[in-house]
A and B are shown apart, each in its own frame.
Chain A
Amino acid sequence: MVESARGMIIASLIGDAFTWLQDPGDAFAGGDISQRIVEHLGMVGISVGAALIPALAAGLAIGHTRRAEFVTVTVANLGRAIPSFAILAFFFPITLKLGLGLSNWPAIIALFFLAIPPILTNAYVGVREVDPDVTEAARGMGMSGWQILRRVELPIAGPLIVAGIRTSAVQVVATATLAALVAGGGLGRFIVDGFALNEYEVVLGGAILVALLAIATEVVFSVIEKVVSPGGLRRKTGFAPVYTDMAQTSEVG
Protein backbone atom coordinates (compact mmCIF):
# COMPACT_ATOMS: atom_id res chain seq x y z
CA MET A 1 0.00 0.00 0.00
CA VAL A 2 2.61 2.48 1.13
CA GLU A 3 4.85 1.48 -1.76
CA SER A 4 2.19 1.93 -4.41
CA ALA A 5 1.13 5.27 -2.94
CA ARG A 6 4.75 6.35 -3.13
CA GLY A 7 4.92 5.17 -6.71
CA MET A 8 1.88 7.28 -7.57
CA ILE A 9 3.33 10.34 -5.91
CA ILE A 10 6.51 9.94 -7.92
CA ALA A 11 4.64 9.39 -11.17
CA SER A 12 2.56 12.49 -10.55
CA LEU A 13 5.71 14.45 -9.67
CA ILE A 14 7.18 13.80 -13.09
CA GLY A 15 3.87 14.87 -14.59
CA ASP A 16 3.95 18.02 -12.43
CA ALA A 17 7.51 18.72 -13.56
CA PHE A 18 6.46 18.67 -17.21
CA THR A 19 3.38 20.76 -16.45
CA TRP A 20 5.67 23.28 -14.74
CA LEU A 21 8.03 23.30 -17.73
CA GLN A 22 5.15 24.19 -20.03
CA ASP A 23 3.52 26.63 -17.66
CA PRO A 24 5.33 27.72 -14.49
CA GLY A 25 2.04 29.16 -13.20
CA ASP A 26 2.23 30.06 -9.53
CA ALA A 27 5.48 28.26 -8.65
CA PHE A 28 7.76 30.64 -6.76
CA ALA A 29 11.09 28.88 -6.87
CA GLY A 30 13.80 29.85 -9.32
CA GLY A 31 12.07 32.51 -11.36
CA ASP A 32 11.57 32.74 -15.11
CA ILE A 33 12.66 29.69 -17.11
CA SER A 34 13.83 31.38 -20.31
CA GLN A 35 15.72 34.00 -18.31
CA ARG A 36 17.53 31.25 -16.36
CA ILE A 37 18.47 29.43 -19.57
CA VAL A 38 19.90 32.66 -21.00
CA GLU A 39 21.80 33.24 -17.75
CA HIS A 40 23.15 29.70 -17.77
CA LEU A 41 24.31 29.91 -21.39
CA GLY A 42 25.72 33.38 -20.70
CA MET A 43 27.93 32.07 -17.89
CA VAL A 44 29.07 29.18 -20.10
CA GLY A 45 29.68 31.43 -23.11
CA ILE A 46 31.72 34.02 -21.25
CA SER A 47 33.86 31.54 -19.33
CA VAL A 48 34.55 29.11 -22.19
CA GLY A 49 35.00 31.99 -24.65
CA ALA A 50 37.53 33.68 -22.39
CA ALA A 51 39.31 30.36 -21.73
CA LEU A 52 39.70 29.67 -25.46
CA ILE A 53 42.24 32.45 -25.93
CA PRO A 54 44.95 31.44 -23.42
CA ALA A 55 44.24 27.71 -23.72
CA LEU A 56 44.47 27.54 -27.51
CA ALA A 57 47.43 29.90 -27.71
CA ALA A 58 49.41 27.91 -25.14
CA GLY A 59 48.33 24.49 -26.46
CA LEU A 60 49.20 25.28 -30.08
CA ALA A 61 52.49 26.97 -29.15
CA ILE A 62 53.63 24.09 -26.93
CA GLY A 63 52.55 21.45 -29.46
CA HIS A 64 54.30 23.26 -32.32
CA THR A 65 57.55 24.11 -30.55
CA ARG A 66 57.64 21.07 -28.23
CA ARG A 67 58.85 23.34 -25.49
CA ALA A 68 57.63 23.41 -21.88
CA GLU A 69 55.54 20.29 -22.49
CA PHE A 70 55.37 19.63 -18.75
CA VAL A 71 52.99 22.61 -18.50
CA THR A 72 50.21 20.75 -20.30
CA VAL A 73 50.60 17.62 -18.19
CA THR A 74 50.59 19.67 -14.99
CA VAL A 75 47.53 21.68 -16.00
CA ALA A 76 45.68 18.51 -17.08
CA ASN A 77 46.45 16.71 -13.84
CA LEU A 78 45.56 19.69 -11.66
CA GLY A 79 42.33 20.20 -13.59
CA ARG A 80 41.40 16.62 -12.88
CA ALA A 81 42.51 16.53 -9.26
CA ILE A 82 40.92 19.75 -8.01
CA PRO A 83 37.15 19.27 -7.62
CA SER A 84 35.08 21.80 -9.56
CA PHE A 85 32.96 22.41 -6.47
CA ALA A 86 36.12 23.39 -4.60
CA ILE A 87 37.16 25.92 -7.27
CA LEU A 88 33.71 27.45 -7.15
CA ALA A 89 33.70 27.69 -3.36
CA PHE A 90 37.22 29.12 -3.43
CA PHE A 91 36.31 32.13 -5.60
CA PHE A 92 33.14 33.01 -3.71
CA PRO A 93 34.78 34.79 -0.73
CA ILE A 94 37.36 36.40 -3.03
CA THR A 95 34.80 38.03 -5.32
CA LEU A 96 32.78 38.98 -2.28
CA LYS A 97 35.83 40.79 -0.94
CA LEU A 98 36.41 42.47 -4.31
CA GLY A 99 32.95 43.96 -3.98
CA LEU A 100 31.35 42.03 -6.82
CA GLY A 101 28.65 41.02 -4.41
CA LEU A 102 26.20 38.21 -4.89
CA SER A 103 26.52 37.83 -8.63
CA ASN A 104 27.48 35.34 -11.31
CA TRP A 105 31.11 36.46 -11.18
CA PRO A 106 32.49 33.92 -8.71
CA ALA A 107 30.98 31.20 -10.90
CA ILE A 108 32.26 32.71 -14.16
CA ILE A 109 35.80 33.08 -12.82
CA ALA A 110 35.78 29.53 -11.49
CA LEU A 111 34.31 28.17 -14.74
CA PHE A 112 37.01 29.99 -16.71
CA PHE A 113 39.72 28.03 -14.87
CA LEU A 114 37.75 24.80 -15.25
CA ALA A 115 37.39 25.31 -18.99
CA ILE A 116 41.14 25.65 -19.68
CA PRO A 117 42.62 22.13 -19.14
CA PRO A 118 40.65 20.13 -21.75
CA ILE A 119 41.11 22.80 -24.44
CA LEU A 120 44.81 23.20 -23.69
CA THR A 121 45.63 19.48 -23.63
CA ASN A 122 43.66 18.65 -26.74
CA ALA A 123 45.21 21.50 -28.74
CA TYR A 124 48.66 20.36 -27.61
CA VAL A 125 48.05 16.66 -28.31
CA GLY A 126 46.37 17.45 -31.63
CA VAL A 127 49.37 19.40 -32.93
CA ARG A 128 51.92 17.02 -31.43
CA GLU A 129 50.29 13.98 -33.02
CA VAL A 130 50.56 15.37 -36.55
CA ASP A 131 52.67 12.90 -38.55
CA PRO A 132 56.26 14.26 -38.60
CA ASP A 133 56.55 13.18 -42.25
CA VAL A 134 53.76 15.60 -43.11
CA THR A 135 55.34 18.58 -41.37
CA GLU A 136 58.70 17.58 -42.85
CA ALA A 137 57.18 17.59 -46.33
CA ALA A 138 55.62 20.99 -45.66
CA ARG A 139 58.98 22.35 -44.56
CA GLY A 140 60.57 20.86 -47.69
CA MET A 141 58.03 22.79 -49.77
CA GLY A 142 59.40 25.93 -48.19
CA MET A 143 56.67 26.67 -45.66
CA SER A 144 57.64 28.74 -42.64
CA GLY A 145 56.91 27.54 -39.11
CA TRP A 146 53.89 29.81 -38.95
CA GLN A 147 52.57 28.56 -42.30
CA ILE A 148 53.01 24.94 -41.17
CA LEU A 149 51.01 25.67 -38.04
CA ARG A 150 48.21 27.43 -39.90
CA ARG A 151 47.91 25.33 -43.02
CA VAL A 152 49.03 21.88 -41.92
CA GLU A 153 48.93 21.32 -38.19
CA LEU A 154 45.80 23.30 -37.41
CA PRO A 155 43.52 21.58 -39.98
CA ILE A 156 44.77 18.12 -39.02
CA ALA A 157 44.42 18.85 -35.31
CA GLY A 158 41.01 20.50 -35.88
CA PRO A 159 38.74 17.66 -34.78
CA LEU A 160 40.75 17.00 -31.63
CA ILE A 161 40.76 20.72 -30.79
CA VAL A 162 36.97 20.85 -31.19
CA ALA A 163 36.71 17.69 -29.04
CA GLY A 164 38.60 19.56 -26.33
CA ILE A 165 36.24 22.52 -26.55
CA ARG A 166 33.32 20.08 -26.41
CA THR A 167 34.59 18.37 -23.27
CA SER A 168 35.20 21.75 -21.74
CA ALA A 169 31.79 23.17 -22.67
CA VAL A 170 29.84 20.14 -21.44
CA GLN A 171 31.75 20.19 -18.18
CA VAL A 172 31.13 23.92 -17.76
CA VAL A 173 27.39 23.56 -18.53
CA ALA A 174 27.26 20.94 -15.77
CA THR A 175 29.29 22.91 -13.26
CA ALA A 176 27.43 26.18 -13.95
CA THR A 177 24.53 24.45 -12.18
CA LEU A 178 26.55 24.66 -8.98
CA ALA A 179 26.67 28.46 -9.35
CA ALA A 180 23.32 28.53 -7.57
CA LEU A 181 25.10 27.26 -4.46
CA VAL A 182 27.25 30.39 -4.41
CA ALA A 183 24.32 32.76 -4.91
CA GLY A 184 24.64 32.82 -8.69
CA GLY A 185 21.90 32.43 -11.28
CA GLY A 186 21.38 29.89 -14.04
CA LEU A 187 19.35 26.69 -14.07
CA GLY A 188 20.79 25.53 -10.76
CA ARG A 189 18.49 28.10 -9.10
CA PHE A 190 15.47 25.86 -9.82
CA ILE A 191 17.16 22.90 -8.12
CA VAL A 192 18.41 24.86 -5.10
CA ASP A 193 15.36 27.11 -4.59
CA GLY A 194 12.94 24.29 -5.36
CA PHE A 195 14.45 22.25 -2.53
CA ALA A 196 14.36 25.23 -0.18
CA LEU A 197 10.69 25.98 -0.92
CA ASN A 198 9.60 22.36 -1.15
CA GLU A 199 8.39 22.83 -4.72
CA TYR A 200 9.65 19.53 -5.92
CA GLU A 201 8.24 19.74 -9.43
CA VAL A 202 10.51 22.76 -9.92
CA VAL A 203 13.55 20.79 -8.72
CA LEU A 204 12.81 17.98 -11.13
CA GLY A 205 11.95 20.34 -14.00
CA GLY A 206 15.20 22.23 -13.46
CA ALA A 207 17.17 18.99 -13.37
CA ILE A 208 15.58 17.88 -16.64
CA LEU A 209 16.45 21.22 -18.26
CA VAL A 210 20.10 21.03 -17.15
CA ALA A 211 20.44 17.45 -18.34
CA LEU A 212 18.95 18.34 -21.73
CA LEU A 213 21.19 21.38 -22.06
CA ALA A 214 24.31 19.30 -21.33
CA ILE A 215 23.30 16.63 -23.84
CA ALA A 216 22.45 19.29 -26.46
CA THR A 217 25.90 20.87 -25.98
CA GLU A 218 27.53 17.48 -26.47
CA VAL A 219 25.54 16.84 -29.65
CA VAL A 220 26.17 20.28 -31.17
CA PHE A 221 29.93 20.02 -30.69
CA SER A 222 29.99 16.42 -31.99
CA VAL A 223 28.46 17.73 -35.21
CA ILE A 224 31.03 20.56 -35.42
CA GLU A 225 33.76 18.00 -34.80
CA LYS A 226 32.59 15.96 -37.80
CA VAL A 227 32.35 19.07 -39.97
CA VAL A 228 35.91 20.22 -39.27
CA SER A 229 37.41 16.77 -39.95
CA PRO A 230 39.48 16.95 -43.14
CA GLY A 231 37.94 14.48 -45.62
CA GLY A 232 40.96 12.22 -45.87
CA LEU A 233 41.38 11.95 -42.13
CA ARG A 234 37.90 11.09 -40.82
CA ARG A 235 38.52 9.34 -37.55
CA LYS A 236 37.28 5.81 -37.32
CA THR A 237 34.65 5.31 -34.69
CA GLY A 238 35.58 3.29 -31.68
CA PHE A 239 37.66 4.29 -28.74
CA ALA A 240 41.30 4.02 -27.96
CA PRO A 241 42.17 3.03 -24.43
CA VAL A 242 42.79 5.95 -22.16
CA TYR A 243 46.29 5.55 -20.79
CA THR A 244 46.95 9.07 -19.67
CA ASP A 245 44.84 12.08 -19.05
CA MET A 246 45.94 13.55 -22.33
CA ALA A 247 43.25 14.24 -24.92
CA GLN A 248 40.70 12.65 -22.64
CA THR A 249 40.57 15.16 -19.86
CA SER A 250 37.03 15.16 -18.75
CA GLU A 251 35.47 15.58 -15.43
CA VAL A 252 31.85 15.55 -14.57
CA GLY A 253 30.78 18.61 -12.66
Chain B
Amino acid sequence: MKEQPFIRWDWIADHTDEIWARLLEHVQLTALAVGIGLLISLPLAVLAYRRRVFYPPLTWVTGILYTIPSLALFAILVPYTGATSRTTAEIGLVSYTLLILIRNIVAGLDGVAADVKEAARGMGYSPNQLLLRVEIPLALPAIAAGIRIATVTTIGLVTITALLGQGGLGYFILLGLNRVFTTATMLGAVLSALLAILVDRLLILAEQRLTPWSRARAA
Protein backbone atom coordinates (compact mmCIF):
# COMPACT_ATOMS: atom_id res chain seq x y z
CA MET B 1 0.00 0.00 0.00
CA LYS B 2 1.27 3.43 -0.92
CA GLU B 3 2.03 5.68 2.03
CA GLN B 4 -0.72 8.27 2.28
CA PRO B 5 -0.26 11.84 3.45
CA PHE B 6 -1.98 12.64 6.76
CA ILE B 7 -4.51 14.90 5.06
CA ARG B 8 -5.33 14.62 1.37
CA TRP B 9 -6.60 18.07 0.52
CA ASP B 10 -7.43 17.00 -3.03
CA TRP B 11 -9.86 14.39 -1.66
CA ILE B 12 -11.59 17.07 0.41
CA ALA B 13 -11.76 19.39 -2.60
CA ASP B 14 -13.32 16.60 -4.67
CA HIS B 15 -16.02 15.92 -2.08
CA THR B 16 -17.32 19.38 -1.20
CA ASP B 17 -20.88 18.54 -2.26
CA GLU B 18 -21.00 15.47 -0.07
CA ILE B 19 -19.39 17.30 2.86
CA TRP B 20 -22.05 19.97 2.64
CA ALA B 21 -24.84 17.36 2.48
CA ARG B 22 -23.48 15.49 5.53
CA LEU B 23 -23.15 18.75 7.44
CA LEU B 24 -26.81 19.56 6.73
CA GLU B 25 -27.85 16.05 7.83
CA HIS B 26 -25.91 16.58 11.04
CA VAL B 27 -27.68 19.88 11.73
CA GLN B 28 -31.10 18.34 10.94
CA LEU B 29 -30.59 15.35 13.25
CA THR B 30 -29.43 17.68 16.04
CA ALA B 31 -32.24 20.23 15.60
CA LEU B 32 -34.89 17.51 15.54
CA ALA B 33 -33.54 15.90 18.72
CA VAL B 34 -33.26 19.15 20.69
CA GLY B 35 -36.67 20.33 19.39
CA ILE B 36 -38.46 17.15 20.45
CA GLY B 37 -36.47 17.12 23.70
CA LEU B 38 -37.72 20.63 24.45
CA LEU B 39 -41.33 19.72 23.66
CA ILE B 40 -41.12 16.84 26.14
CA SER B 41 -39.08 18.66 28.79
CA LEU B 42 -41.02 21.90 29.03
CA PRO B 43 -44.35 20.45 30.29
CA LEU B 44 -42.53 17.93 32.52
CA ALA B 45 -40.36 20.68 34.03
CA VAL B 46 -43.38 22.95 34.63
CA LEU B 47 -45.14 20.01 36.30
CA ALA B 48 -42.10 19.36 38.51
CA TYR B 49 -41.87 23.07 39.33
CA ARG B 50 -45.50 23.27 40.42
CA ARG B 51 -45.76 19.83 42.05
CA ARG B 52 -42.43 19.28 43.75
CA VAL B 53 -42.99 15.55 44.38
CA PHE B 54 -42.49 14.86 40.67
CA TYR B 55 -39.01 16.38 40.57
CA PRO B 56 -36.92 13.61 42.21
CA PRO B 57 -38.44 10.74 40.16
CA LEU B 58 -38.09 12.80 36.97
CA THR B 59 -34.41 13.52 37.50
CA TRP B 60 -33.90 9.93 38.57
CA VAL B 61 -35.38 8.44 35.41
CA THR B 62 -33.81 10.95 33.03
CA GLY B 63 -30.54 10.58 34.97
CA ILE B 64 -30.51 6.85 34.28
CA LEU B 65 -31.28 7.49 30.60
CA TYR B 66 -28.41 9.97 30.55
CA THR B 67 -26.02 7.44 32.09
CA ILE B 68 -26.72 4.58 29.67
CA PRO B 69 -23.96 4.57 27.04
CA SER B 70 -25.22 5.59 23.62
CA LEU B 71 -24.02 2.47 21.80
CA ALA B 72 -25.84 0.30 24.37
CA LEU B 73 -29.01 2.39 24.14
CA PHE B 74 -29.03 2.15 20.35
CA ALA B 75 -28.43 -1.60 20.57
CA ILE B 76 -31.35 -2.01 22.99
CA LEU B 77 -33.65 -0.02 20.69
CA VAL B 78 -32.77 -1.81 17.45
CA PRO B 79 -35.22 -4.76 17.71
CA TYR B 80 -38.06 -2.34 18.41
CA THR B 81 -37.36 0.41 15.93
CA GLY B 82 -34.92 -1.07 13.39
CA ALA B 83 -31.17 -1.06 12.82
CA THR B 84 -31.04 1.68 10.22
CA SER B 85 -33.94 3.86 11.21
CA ARG B 86 -34.03 7.53 12.04
CA THR B 87 -36.43 6.67 14.88
CA THR B 88 -33.79 4.62 16.69
CA ALA B 89 -31.29 7.46 16.37
CA GLU B 90 -33.73 10.15 17.48
CA ILE B 91 -35.08 8.24 20.50
CA GLY B 92 -31.52 7.87 21.74
CA LEU B 93 -30.59 11.48 21.01
CA VAL B 94 -33.77 12.92 22.56
CA SER B 95 -33.40 10.85 25.72
CA TYR B 96 -29.98 12.41 26.36
CA THR B 97 -31.33 15.97 26.18
CA LEU B 98 -34.05 15.46 28.81
CA LEU B 99 -31.97 15.57 32.00
CA ILE B 100 -30.09 18.72 30.97
CA LEU B 101 -33.22 20.54 29.79
CA ILE B 102 -35.50 19.61 32.71
CA ARG B 103 -32.84 20.49 35.27
CA ASN B 104 -32.19 23.89 33.76
CA ILE B 105 -35.84 24.81 33.20
CA VAL B 106 -36.77 23.94 36.79
CA ALA B 107 -33.73 25.76 38.15
CA GLY B 108 -34.58 28.79 36.01
CA LEU B 109 -38.20 28.88 37.19
CA ASP B 110 -37.04 28.46 40.78
CA GLY B 111 -34.79 31.46 40.37
CA VAL B 112 -37.63 33.88 39.61
CA ALA B 113 -37.85 36.32 42.53
CA ALA B 114 -40.83 35.74 44.82
CA ASP B 115 -41.87 39.41 44.94
CA VAL B 116 -42.03 39.55 41.14
CA LYS B 117 -44.47 36.64 41.14
CA GLU B 118 -46.37 38.22 44.00
CA ALA B 119 -46.69 41.49 42.09
CA ALA B 120 -47.95 39.67 38.99
CA ARG B 121 -50.48 37.77 41.07
CA GLY B 122 -51.59 41.01 42.67
CA MET B 123 -52.21 42.41 39.18
CA GLY B 124 -54.64 39.55 38.63
CA TYR B 125 -52.47 37.16 36.56
CA SER B 126 -53.75 33.59 36.45
CA PRO B 127 -51.19 30.82 37.08
CA ASN B 128 -50.84 30.22 33.33
CA GLN B 129 -50.50 33.92 32.52
CA LEU B 130 -47.91 34.16 35.27
CA LEU B 131 -46.01 31.23 33.74
CA LEU B 132 -46.08 32.47 30.15
CA ARG B 133 -45.61 36.19 30.71
CA VAL B 134 -43.43 36.36 33.81
CA GLU B 135 -41.83 33.11 34.91
CA ILE B 136 -40.68 31.68 31.57
CA PRO B 137 -39.34 35.00 30.23
CA LEU B 138 -37.40 35.56 33.46
CA ALA B 139 -36.13 31.97 33.44
CA LEU B 140 -34.97 32.34 29.85
CA PRO B 141 -31.23 32.68 30.56
CA ALA B 142 -31.17 29.35 32.45
CA ILE B 143 -33.40 27.68 29.86
CA ALA B 144 -31.20 28.98 27.05
CA ALA B 145 -28.10 27.68 28.83
CA GLY B 146 -29.77 24.26 29.01
CA ILE B 147 -30.62 24.33 25.31
CA ARG B 148 -27.05 25.31 24.53
CA ILE B 149 -25.49 22.47 26.51
CA ALA B 150 -28.04 19.96 25.19
CA THR B 151 -27.34 21.05 21.61
CA VAL B 152 -23.56 20.84 21.89
CA THR B 153 -23.83 17.40 23.56
CA THR B 154 -26.19 16.22 20.81
CA ILE B 155 -23.86 17.40 18.05
CA GLY B 156 -21.21 15.08 19.49
CA LEU B 157 -23.61 12.16 19.82
CA VAL B 158 -24.93 12.50 16.29
CA THR B 159 -21.51 11.30 15.07
CA ILE B 160 -22.34 7.89 16.57
CA THR B 161 -25.67 7.65 14.75
CA ALA B 162 -23.64 7.16 11.57
CA LEU B 163 -23.46 3.53 12.77
CA LEU B 164 -27.24 3.41 12.26
CA GLY B 165 -26.85 4.58 8.68
CA GLN B 166 -28.06 8.08 9.50
CA GLY B 167 -25.29 9.95 7.73
CA GLY B 168 -24.14 13.16 9.35
CA LEU B 169 -20.48 13.96 9.89
CA GLY B 170 -19.97 10.65 11.70
CA TYR B 171 -20.18 9.10 8.25
CA PHE B 172 -16.72 10.46 7.47
CA ILE B 173 -15.31 9.26 10.81
CA LEU B 174 -16.66 5.78 10.13
CA LEU B 175 -15.40 5.83 6.55
CA GLY B 176 -11.95 6.84 7.76
CA LEU B 177 -11.97 4.05 10.35
CA ASN B 178 -13.03 1.35 7.94
CA ARG B 179 -10.44 2.26 5.33
CA VAL B 180 -7.74 3.56 7.72
CA PHE B 181 -8.04 6.87 5.89
CA THR B 182 -7.08 9.71 8.26
CA THR B 183 -8.33 12.44 5.93
CA ALA B 184 -11.96 11.36 6.34
CA THR B 185 -11.65 10.79 10.09
CA MET B 186 -10.07 14.19 10.67
CA LEU B 187 -12.62 15.85 8.41
CA GLY B 188 -15.54 14.41 10.38
CA ALA B 189 -13.92 15.17 13.74
CA VAL B 190 -12.86 18.73 12.95
CA LEU B 191 -16.13 19.68 11.27
CA SER B 192 -18.29 18.36 14.11
CA ALA B 193 -16.13 20.15 16.69
CA LEU B 194 -16.31 23.39 14.68
CA LEU B 195 -20.06 22.96 14.29
CA ALA B 196 -20.43 22.55 18.07
CA ILE B 197 -18.37 25.68 18.76
CA LEU B 198 -20.19 27.73 16.12
CA VAL B 199 -23.66 26.68 17.32
CA ASP B 200 -22.63 27.41 20.91
CA ARG B 201 -21.63 30.98 19.92
CA LEU B 202 -24.82 31.51 17.89
CA LEU B 203 -27.02 30.36 20.76
CA ILE B 204 -25.24 32.73 23.16
CA LEU B 205 -25.93 35.59 20.73
CA ALA B 206 -29.58 34.55 20.37
CA GLU B 207 -29.95 34.38 24.14
CA GLN B 208 -28.56 37.91 24.53
CA ARG B 209 -30.97 39.20 21.89
CA LEU B 210 -33.93 37.55 23.61
CA THR B 211 -33.05 38.79 27.08
CA PRO B 212 -31.69 42.32 26.66
CA TRP B 213 -32.28 43.00 30.36
CA SER B 214 -29.73 40.42 31.41
CA ARG B 215 -26.99 41.69 29.15
CA ALA B 216 -25.26 43.39 32.04
CA ARG B 217 -24.44 40.09 33.75
CA ALA B 218 -23.89 37.99 30.64
CA ALA B 219 -20.58 36.20 30.88
Q: Which residues in A have some Cβ–Cβ distance to B below 8 Å? A: 9-10, 13, 77-78, 80-87, 89-90, 92-93, 96, 170, 173-175, 177-178, 181-182, 188, 191, 195, 200, 203-204, 206-208, 210-211, 214-215, 218, 239-245, 248, 251-253
**B149 (CB) vs chain A CBs: closest residue:** A242
Interface 9-mer from B17-25, B33-41, B61-69, B121-129: B61-69
* B206 interfacial by beta-carbon distance below 8 Å: no
| Distance between Cα atoms of A135 and B186 in the complex (Å) | 46
Main secondary structure of the interface of B (DSSP, over half): helix
When chains A and B are docked, how far (Å) is the Cα of A157 from the Cα of B65? 28
A80-B152, A83-B160, A241-B107 given; name 19 further pairs at CB < 8 Å.
Answer: A10-B79, A10-B80, A83-B157, A83-B173, A89-B188, A90-B182, A90-B186, A93-B182, A174-B69, A178-B71, A181-B177, A207-B75, A211-B72, A239-B103, A239-B106, A241-B111, A242-B146, A242-B149, A252-B153
Partner of B69, one of A204, A210, A244: A210
CB of B45, distance to nearest CB on chain A (Å): 12
Bound together, the chains give a CA A200 to CA B80 distance in angstroms of 12
CA distance A79 to B189 in the complex (A): 12
Shortest beta-carbon distance from A135 to chain B in Å: 24
Asked whether, in the complex, the Cβ of B189 is within 8 Å of the Cβ of A204, the reply is: no
Q: Does B159 contact A (CB under 8 A)?
A: yes
CA distance A129 to B124 in the complex (A): 42
Interface residues of B in 158-189 (CB under 8 A from A): 159-160, 163, 170, 173-174, 176-177, 180, 182, 185-186, 188-189
Q: In the complex, A173 Cα to B67 Cα: how many Å?
A: 10
A-B Cβ contacts below 8 A, count: 160
CB–CB B107/A92 < 8 A: no
Docked pose: A35 CA to B131 CA in angstroms: 54
Size of B's binding interface in residues, CB under 8 A? 54
Nearest CB to that of B63 among chain A residues? A218
Residues on B with C-beta less than 8 A from A243 are: 141-142, 145, 219
Interface residues of A, dominant DSSP: helix
Shortest CB-to-CB span from A207 to chain B, Å, is 4
Q: Type the 1/0 row for B87-123, where 1 means its CB is closer than 8 Å to any CB of A.
A: 0000000001000100110111001000000000000
Contact A81–B76 (Cβ < 8 Å)? no
A196 CB to closest chain B CB (Å) equals 12
Q: Which residues of B contact A80 (CB under 8 A)?
A: 152-153, 156, 196
Contacts of B177 in A (CB 8 A): 89, 92, 181-182
